[in-house]
Amino acid sequence: MSVEETNNPASFKLHDLRCFDAVARLGSFQAAANALHRTHPSVFAAVTRLEQRLGLTLLDRSGYRVELTEVGRMFHARAATSLRDIDNLDGYARQLATGEEPVLRVVLGDLCDRPAVLGTLSAFFAGRPRTRLHLDYEAVSGPFERLADGSADLIFHRVDDSRYDLEQIRFREIRLLPVAAPGFLAAEAGAEITPRQLQLVTQCVIRDTARDTTPEDHFLIDGAPHCSVPDHTMKRELILHRMAWGHLPEFMVENELRTGKLINMQGRYIPGRTETLAAMRRIDRPHGPVAEELWGCLKDSLPKL
């Protein structure tokens, strides 16, 4: 065998394979010819040529209706998969040629109201099957780092008013409340809680997922023991189990506050805080057509502040 033959990726033409696939699926040369907009003789010749090049008898032509041989059934199963892959590759190439992004990378921050955001993303991507959504989670300054290093196209996170390099769609204000489970603090009833009292108990904080920035220290009580968790869901569980106290978004603890499973510690010395949630992207970088469509969709569908 020559070097050229060993380097040849296939011993048959794609056209011949498509003709065989059509005959196998439709059960006759004439039906295949009609579906492919070819003549009966051309389809017959293509399948015969394919069999000769493979050295296989793929079709039994002895009866009134052509049927796959056992080898033909095995080959067709693999051929059908290969043709789907080729069609997908062709569509992918055309998508790239038009500038449509094959993937959009979206990061949800630790304060993100997931049901509201995911509902909007679900509706948008349902109509764009050619673009895959890659969804990720980051906390504290992690979402901003992902935008800075180019590994995210869009983030949903708390607003940082010092950032002038980001385009924003502000859509919700979120109150963070200092909460604890009943019985966790000895002085929770009566006198107002002071930072000195909290120095004796564990405070739970969210871990900053950023790798190359200085960690932020939101609400930390100086000198108090603290534990860290990856997200607010786990933070709420620790607080409910009397393992710590901490700040949680009000929308996550409304039911627990109403039923008495948690108490609001907010006061003169232990304030709450209001954060603004926004969709954000870089101003100084170009965005593809699907990213622009998503940005327009967010402007139309998210509530305005």
* Four-point Cα dihedral 121, 305, 162, 157, nearest 10: -30
What is the tens place of the pLDDT at every residue in 109-166?
999 988 889 999 999 999 888 899 999 999 999 999 999 888 999 999 999 988 888 9
| Dihedral sign computed on CA atoms, order 145, 147, 151, 157 | positive
What is the tens place of the pLDDT at every residue in 12-56?
899 999 999 999 999 999 999 999 999 999 999 999 999 999 999
Say yes or no to pLDDT of 11 above 60.
yes
What is the tens place of the pLDDT at every residue in 236-281?
999 999 999 999 999 999 999 999 999 999 888 888 899 999 999 9
pLDDT at residue 218, as a whole number: 62
pLDDT at residue 214, as a whole number: 59
pLDDT at residue 3, as a whole number: 38
Tell me the pTM: 0.67
DSSP secondary structure of 260-293: TSSEE--SSSS--EEEEEEEEEESSS---HHHHH
What number is the average pLDDT over the span 208-222?
73
Bridge-based pairing of strands 154-158 and 246-249 is: unpaired
CB 280 within 8 A of CB 157: yes
What number is the average pLDDT over the span 170-199?
82
Say yes or no to pLDDT of 288 above 90.
no
pLDDT at residue 242, as a whole number: 95
Residues 6+ apart with CB under 8 A from 245: 178, 179, 180, 184, 185, 198, 201, 202, 203, 204, 239, 265
